[in-house]
Amino acid sequence: MTGASRRSLLLGAAGAGLALPGLARAQAQYRPEYKLSVVGNRPIPFAEGAFQWAELVTQRSGGRINVKVYPGSQLVGGDQTRELVAMRQGVIDFSVFSTINIAPQVREVGLFQLPFLMPNHKALDALIGGEVGRDIFGVMERREVVPLAWGENGFREISNSKRAIRTPADLRGMKIRFAAGAIFSDIYNTLGANPVQMSFADLQPALSTGAVDGQENPINLFLAFRMDTLAQKHLTVWNYVNDPLIFCLSRSVWNSFTDADKQLVRECAEEAGRNQIALTRRGLGLDGGDDSSMQELRRRGVEVTVLTAQEKAEFARATRPVYEKWSQTVGAELVRKAEAAIRAATA
């Protein structure tokens, strides 16, 4: 067949809506590797969700979409707050974003950091599984990224080396590390503590040397990183904020995939997200179930203080000025929608 004949055949097939063998593959020029960035590493649930997503996509695409995980936010020099910017710059292709880490760039996800907005997991599920979650995904799409599924890093509990925390007064004078976000500085200043922002990589040596007295993180991270060996002998379960995760990829990468592969990537993200949420909640004794994580804390000699509803309400009252201030930043209408969804779910 001459070159002219081949071109005529291709043009004729395209005009007739036919697919020649190999033509669809030729139209989808995939890269040898796609980079997925995530904070931390296995075995923590946060990172596990990212690894599962990468593995599912790679396996189910037959290696056509080869996703490699770069843990510890190494593609951004360990600074997890730069992952969204790096994705928009083309440095990162896939990521599982912490809503805390991207809140400085996407003000609407700061909703989840409003102190004591969500009393329990039912409240969180009502947000990420309903209209609020869809609204936030719409906001993400306007940042040139494609959100596909929700995950969860967990409710953030507070630990320290000094004493049990049961009232706002117990926090006075304590140096408490937080990861990112000016709202956390406001929360701890309001409670009389001394907030210190630092990366997770710097946290462990800071705890071991006493440079900070305490920190706030989900229980699964406390256990995985053995913070009980870093002088963290007191842990209070207060559920003051949660850190939902968003499984995302860059708009340019998404647009390069065929429709069938887009569906494959989405389904893998949703499956990994469900698994990740289940891992995060395992062992917390929810609804009277498996409480192995709580038992492990006590086995390690950690004094666990679980606040009552009345005690949480005292903290909520103390931090209400922070809640009202940051509601304006998040968006008053989105906050009202979230409050209504939570009331309906927890009534």
Q: What is the 3-state secondary structure (H, E, C) of 277-307?
A: HHHHHCCCCHHHCCCHHHHHHHHCCCEEEEC
Cβ neighbors of 66 (< 8 A, separation 6 or more) are 31, 32, 33, 34, 58
Task: Identify the pLDDT of residue 28.
Answer: 61
Nearest to 247 by CA among 47, 88, 41: 47
For the chain, which residues score pLDDT lower than 50? 1-27
Token representation of residue 309? 């509803």
Q: In angstroms, rounded to a whole number, what is the distance separating the alpha carbons of residues 50 and 71? A: 9
DSSP string, 217-281: E-HHHHHHTTGGGGT--EEEE----EEEEEEEEEHHHHHHS-HHHHHHHHHHHHHHHHHHHHHHH
Q: Express each pLDDT in 30-52 by its tens digit.
A: 999 999 999 999 999 999 999 99
Length of the chain: 347
Task: Identify the pLDDT of residue 201.
Answer: 79
Q: 157-160 and 214-217: which strand pairing?
A: antiparallel
Q: In angstroms, rounded to a whole number, what is the distance separating the alpha carbons of residues 184 and 178? A: 7
CATH fold for the domain made of 157-241+293-346: D-Maltodextrin-Binding Protein; domain 2 (3.40.190)
Query: Reduced to 3 states, what is the DSSP secondary structure of residue 312?
Result: helix
CB 178 within 8 A of CB 191: no
Q: In angstroms, rounded to a whole number, what is the distance separating the alpha carbons of residues 235 and 297? A: 9
Token representation of residue 280? 């995060």
Task: Identify the pLDDT of residue 89.
Answer: 95
Cis (ω within 30 of 0) for the bond into 32?
A: no
Q: In angstroms, rounded to a whole number, what is the distance separating the alpha carbons of residues 189 and 117? A: 19
Q: How many CB atoms lie within 10 A of CB 333?
A: 9
CB 39 within 8 A of CB 46: yes
3-state helix, strand, coil in the chain (%, to 5): 55, 15, 30
Token representation of residue 106? 């996407």
CATH 3.40.190.170 residue window(s) in the chain: 32-153+244-281, 157-241+293-346
Domain 32-153+244-281: CATH superfamily, name plus number: Bacterial extracellular solute-binding protein, family 7 (3.40.190.170)
Report the predicted TM-score, pTM, of the whole model to 2 decimal places.
Answer: 0.90
